[in-house]
Structure 1
Amino acid sequence: MEEEGKPLAADEIDAHHHRPPAIASVHVRALITWLAIFPMVAIGMMVMGLFAQDWHPVLRALVLTAVVVPTAVYVAVPRLLMIYNRLHSARQQRTRA
């Protein structure tokens, strides 16, 4: 989000909103992060088992996390948070009505 060319943090208020956007609690964010990472790690371990059986465990962990962490941070977690926010907003709208 930007206001007058200046990027705003997630908790800042811009001129078009009267209150900051809701931010999921740390517990929700932790659960969403786990939901994003666990399947990627499980699948990654199975795939790497096909070609990296002889690798040192630290090297396997390095390669796996080099793929999983950026994918989770830049793709999976933001999408899951967006889905959570939509569901949470819809639930709040229903309770207000």
Structure 2
Amino acid sequence: MTENNTTATTPVGPPPRHHLALMIWVAVFPTLTALQLLLGGLLVATPTVLRTLVLATIAVPIVIYGLMPPLQRLRVRLLTRR
């Protein structure tokens, strides 16, 4: 006879707008700050639109694929601890 010790867990749905906005800000601000510090000297002579294009092209994949998944896991952990 096997015993099934499953605990009832409430699935956490998608984040509300204010959670998503906070997670995006927490991911985007330091990423853009770091990129500006690293690449600012190289891009100082480039036009603003081109500089923004370069920074956004680098920052968006970092945020979406690198930083948002851990932030979403952290959110789930924080919400399921209660």
Larger fraction in helix: 2
Asked whether the 8 Å contact 2:12–2:76 carries over to 1, the reply is no
State the Cα distance separating 1:70 from its structure 2 match: 1.3
State the Cα distance separating 1:23 from its structure 2 match: 2.3
Equivalent of 1:59 in 30, 50, 57: 50
Equivalent of 1:39 in 7, 30, 42: 30
Determine if the alignment matches structure 1 residue 81 to structure 2 residue 72: yes
TM-score scaled by structure 2? 0.80
Give every structure 1 segment of 4 or more consecutive aligned residues whose post-TM-superposition deviation is greater than 3 Å. Answer: 17-21
Query: What does residue 19 of structure 2 align with?
Result: 28
Using CA pairs under 8 Å that are at least 6 residues apart, name the structure with larger relative contact order, 1 or 2.
2
The whole-number CA distance in structure 2 between the counterparts of 1:43 and 1:30 is 20
5+ long unaligned stretches in structure 1: 1-16, 93-97
5+ long unaligned stretches in structure 2: 1-7
* Identity between Structure 1 and Structure 2 (%): 29
Larger fraction in strand: 1
Q: How many residues align?
A: 75
State the Cα distance separating 1:21 from its structure 2 match: 3.6
CA RMSD of aligned residues (A): 1.9
